[in-house]
Amino acid sequence: MIESAGFDHAQEAFDFVELLDKLSSPDEIMNQMEKSLGRFGFENFILTGLPNPHQKAEQMVLARKWPQGWFEIYIKENYVAVDPVVRLCRNSVNPFDWGEAPFNRDTEPRALEVMNRASDFRMANGFCIPIHGLTGYEACVSLGGVNLDLSPRTKPALHLMGMYAFEHIRQLMTQKNESRFDRLTAREREVLTWTAVGKTSAEVAEIMNLSKRTVDEYSVRAARKLRAQNKTHAVVKALQQRLISP
Amino acid sequence: MTQIHVVTSANRHLYEDTLDSYHRIRHDVFVTERGWRAVARADGRDIDSYDRGDTVYLIAIDGDRVVGGQRLTPTTASHMLGDIFPDLAAVKGVPTGPSVWEASRYFVVRERRSGRTDCMMLAAVQEFGLDEGITHYSAVIETWWLPRLQEAGFVVRPLGLPTLIENQWALAAEVEVRESSRDRARALGGITGSVLVRRGPQIPLIPQVEHAT
């Protein structure tokens, strides 16, 4: 978008940051990013952790609106290992234009390749905001497009918007994961309730009309969710946390 | 074991040597390491007009070694955001009031920057705020620290856009004092319970606040 006289990038950034508090899902945040960042000309963006050598790049992604074809090529070619933007992101605390990420055209043909191929997917230029956690977590917010309003005036606004978007999505996804892993299902609670009154798993199986193997699976899953050492420990923890009644 | 000591005008006589070493290390960190020439001093101690009688220091001490620190000043008196950096708070203004304190000169010595000492320092500033009835801290923070503070559970409200200061992006911000922030910082650092040490006489920071002790 061509900058109009009335476009106040600082106000845009603050409106965005304040709006984030009212959004309750990563999708809503992505939609808002599309609108707000669109006013700066950005079409695509990704919020992702940076993989260590033992992690897969695609599993680190928190959220993306990224050309699907490009994402697939990027993963298939393992470009994360040679991408100059990723390399600079790990080594910089300041945000930067993709074009500023240095590489040697003669000795790093794969780096040149990744930069050239990105342009084929309407990602001629972009802005990368590195995230460095307190205990070694590395991530980035990367924004791409063709006709960008990316100037010394607008960059501080984009910097702030990117960091707040990342934090809100990270928070929402952490909450989602915790509840998915930690909340007991009705069946798991029922198994623990019968176990708490002294029934063996064979007896519980009969009461609940399930196989003993299924009952054992419920116990194991409940124990894992409660971070308990065994079935008995799981019962104690469930009672303490009032997930089942004595 | 590292602990965070609360040093105020009431107990500073117990910390004379520590404070001298604290100011020397501050000079090492901010002038020698980070190149803040404007605060360089011939005696190798970083001391400025905000190191006053009403200034409170939270100093991380391991054995007898200073390994980190942060400085707190009331916003009802002269403070940096109001005096030097009001432009950084151009959008939202400079927050002031008896329950708003300014945090500045946050540092952890180089060999302790793996994370745990930072978590202790962050848990400490929240715990101290809760103890003393501080509701908010204002601060000029390096922008790359924003996600780090958020990771530690801090609720940070920007007061203006990031600005380049001494070659580093920084922004003015207001941080809420919250139990959840204290607990998250503790959890991230694997810390159980209080990290604050209070030796000698204690004075309430905000006179209007009633104290349990």
> In sequence order, what are the beta bridge partners of A140?
A48, A130
Helix axes A231-240, A186-196, angle to 10 degrees: 100
Which of chain A's residues have a Cβ under 8 Å away from the Cβ of B92? 14
Quote the CATH superfamily of domain B2-197: Gcn5-related N-acetyltransferase (GNAT) (3.40.630.30)
Locate the domains of chain A by residue range. 9-180, 184-240
Site from A62, A89, A134 to mutate, B interface, most B CB atoms within 10 angstroms: A134
Q: Do A9-180 and A184-240 have matching folds? A: no
Kindly indicate whether the domain formed by A184-240 is annotated with CATH number 1.10.10.10: yes
Considering only CB atoms, A167 lies closest to which of B119, B143, B150, namely B150
Residues 88-117 of chain B whose Cβ lies under 8 A from any Cβ of chain A: 90-92, 114-116
Q: Which residues of B touch A93 (CB under 8 A)?
A: 142, 144
- pLDDT in the model for residue A3: 45
What element of type H or E holds B67?
A: strand B65-74
Q: Look at the domain A9-180 and name its fold.
A: Beta-Lactamase (3.30.450)
Give pLDDT tens digits for B156-205: 999 999 999 988 899 999 999 999 999 999 998 889 899 999 999 998 88
Q: Which of A21, A131, A135 to mutate to test the interface with B (most CBs of B within 10 A)?
A: A135
Could you read off the pLDDT of B51-89 as tens digits, one per residue? Answer: 999 999 999 999 999 999 999 999 999 999 999 999 999
ipTM beyond cut 0.85: yes
Cβ-nearest to A159 among B150, B169, B188: B169
Six token digits for residue A17: 């940051």
A146-155, A214-223, B54-63, B188-197: which range is least confident on average?
A214-223
- What's the CA gap between A154 and B100, in Å, rounded? 31
pLDDT band at A35, cuts 50/70/90?
A: very high
